Structure 1
């Protein structure tokens, strides 16, 4: 089954371990980005995953492409041109010190893309699913228009469209996000949000919840899911539920609403190795589950288990198999050695 994702892939630079930016004279480099991370998950699950973006023709742009090809992601529709690959610097938090992410992505190739860079009719030929996030239109330039055109073409091709709201306050204001995402969500079938996104983008908030204090009223998110579905006609709304005890310890669960039933997953107590890409791994697991006809309950269980495993893996990409995810979803979460 062909799945297309569209967005920005960035060079990720970070100190080793838990060193702070100001302590180091060298950093490790990998690649990642919301929709690219989803494409890697889907390729690892055996789907025909295509990733669309724009990258420079130089060696760093090629290295980004190679990082995707390594995991079987199809890169045939990536446009080439522009001058730079976006960068983000990541400093890992520990205990009560939170992680820190600094963007250096202005004037990247995708941020300066033009509508004619992408032949959406060709890209969506035989496509079953299209995924994007709220990060991509936030990059400015022509990207709101390009995202809308992509959604229209995907719907015309008969593909299901999913969108992770993914509000990033460092990229645009809440007002800008609301205006753009209101347009884009007209074409979305499956909406993915976290505890904060619905509030930040659309002003829809769960009652009796203190996110910074680590207290979530999970029942309150039923109302959030229903309000989102009623507002835009979404077929399904998924909301990830992260209870942050500290930077290393989180409890992790999710809700999936299908217009009738509210299905909560089991909750996992996680010791975090790397939390970047956690939401993207949830999205990848959800898309895989729904494409394979899993029930609402089984789909949210698979997606949460996939994301739980991602928190144990270094880098943006979730390098796990369907078998590993299904074993965890079925209750095998002891972490015992496999011999």
Structure 2
């Protein structure tokens, strides 16, 4: 079973003109990076559990019921505190999440402390542990909780994956990402993240001219360089993947993966417009986990993860509603 660990967030999506106040209608979605990963894996028939901290109230019960209906095991959730994390993302025009507002301060997850979660109990029967750097970006205590979990995984021989998510407004507690993430990465087997996040978090520099020489070949060259650097500096890591979502004349989506000393890239998908960017990167991460979990060849794996991520761009909300067969059929018939 895969265990996904992170904060559940309630996404509130008002319309840009404020008509929701006149109509008394406000769109809301359950989300959060790690929940989105768990939801995709559950839809793809991978047994998955979700661990987080939530207040013991009506809203939490409804969110947990929603997760349970998606076939996600929620038995390891810790109940404490009084607040569910929120974020606000306007409907319709902001498909690229450029006006997103977070409200996570002193949520139940934010206020977690080391020692509050019994990791030996939570990790019983777990084969794979997944988290993202969204969690340690919150505060120093959550970074310590993540390290606590990773050390327990190391003792138990559990595979660990990490999504190197980075939000520009994160890491406001005095320690930059570059000081925190490397200490966590030494426990990770599977690493995913775009090359810009990796530059920020791991100090693997991107050439200054990468955008002026804006070709796929140039991006692939840098992805291969970053992959080799990560595997050299973090011996625990066996697989590195880099998604690309580039805004040019059209949106371009492709990805790479490095494993067993071989480098693979997926085909490029493109579109003039998208519906909702939220959850696309999480679908890529879920596709990566799905492929490694099921021992897919690397080329098939990166094709699947990229196709899943691209399809999510046209689905409103947080979760992709496509089966494995539907994703594979889309990949076969796209070009």
Same fold (TM over 0.5): yes
SS in 2 for 1:226: helix
Shift in Å at residue 309 of structure 1? Answer: 1.4
RMSD: 2.2
Mapped partners of 1:288, 1:93: distance in 2: 31
SS in 2 for 1:67: helix
- Greater alpha carbon shift after TM alignment, 198-207 vs 72-81: 198-207
Shift in Å at residue 333 of structure 1? Answer: 2.6
Sort the Cα spacing of 1:138 and 1:272 in 2 relative to 1 into closer, same or farther, 3 A.
Answer: same
Alignment of 1:171-182 (within 5 A): 171-172=170-171, 176-182=176-182
Q: TM-score, normalised by structure 2?
A: 0.91
Alignment of 1:186-335 (within 5 A): 186-207=186-207, 208-210=209-211, 217-218=218-219, 219-233=221-235, 234-245=237-248, 249-270=250-271, 271-329=273-331, 331-333=332-334
Runs of 4 or more, structure 1, over 4 Å off, are: 92-98, 213-216
Counterpart contact for 2:97–2:277, Cα < 8 Å: no
Sort the Cα spacing of 1:294 and 1:97 in 2 relative to 1 into closer, same or farther, 3 A.
Answer: closer
Instruction: Report what 2:136 is aligned to.
Output: 137
Where does structure 1 lack aligned partners over 5 or more consecutive residues?
A: 335-339
Sort the Cα spacing of 1:14 and 1:231 in 2 relative to 1 into closer, same or farther, 3 A.
Answer: same
Shift in Å at residue 200 of structure 1? Answer: 1.5
Instruction: Report what 1:337 is aligned to.
Output: none
Mapped partners of 2:110, 2:42: distance in 1: 25
Shift in Å at residue 232 of structure 1? Answer: 1.2
SS in 2 for 1:139: coil
Shift in Å at residue 287 of structure 1? Answer: 0.3
Where does structure 2 lack aligned partners over 5 or more consecutive residues?
A: none
Q: TM-score, normalised by structure 1?
A: 0.90
What does the per-residue CA deviation read over 1:180-238, in whole Å, with 9 as the maximum and x for residues that have no partner?
A: 11110010011101132111112213333229x97663222211111122121220110
Shift in Å at residue 171 of structure 1? Answer: 1.9
Mapped partners of 2:199, 2:211: distance in 1: 13
Counterpart contact for 1:88–1:104, Cα < 8 Å: yes
- Greater alpha carbon shift after TM alignment, 302-311 vs 172-181: 172-181
Mapped partners of 1:78, 1:96: distance in 2: 31
Mapped partners of 1:70, 1:76: distance in 2: 13
What does the per-residue CA deviation read over 1:275-320, in whole Å, with 9 as the maximum and x for residues that have no partner?
A: 1111110000110111111011111111111111111111111222
Mapped partners of 1:99, 1:91: distance in 2: 10
Counterpart contact for 2:89–2:100, Cα < 8 Å: yes
Mapped partners of 2:283, 2:178: distance in 1: 25
What does the per-residue CA deviation read over 1:124-170, in whole Å, with 9 as the maximum and x for residues that have no partner?
A: 12211111000001111521111011111122222110001101221
Mapped partners of 1:308, 1:127: distance in 2: 29
Shift in Å at residue 27 of structure 1? Answer: 2.6
SS in 2 for 1:127: coil
- Greater alpha carbon shift after TM alignment, 65-74 vs 277-286: 65-74
Instruction: Report what 1:83 is aligned to.
Output: 82
Alignment of 1:85-124 (within 5 A): 85-91=84-90, 94=93, 99-124=98-123
Mapped partners of 1:245, 1:127: distance in 2: 42
Counterpart contact for 1:41–1:317, Cα < 8 Å: yes
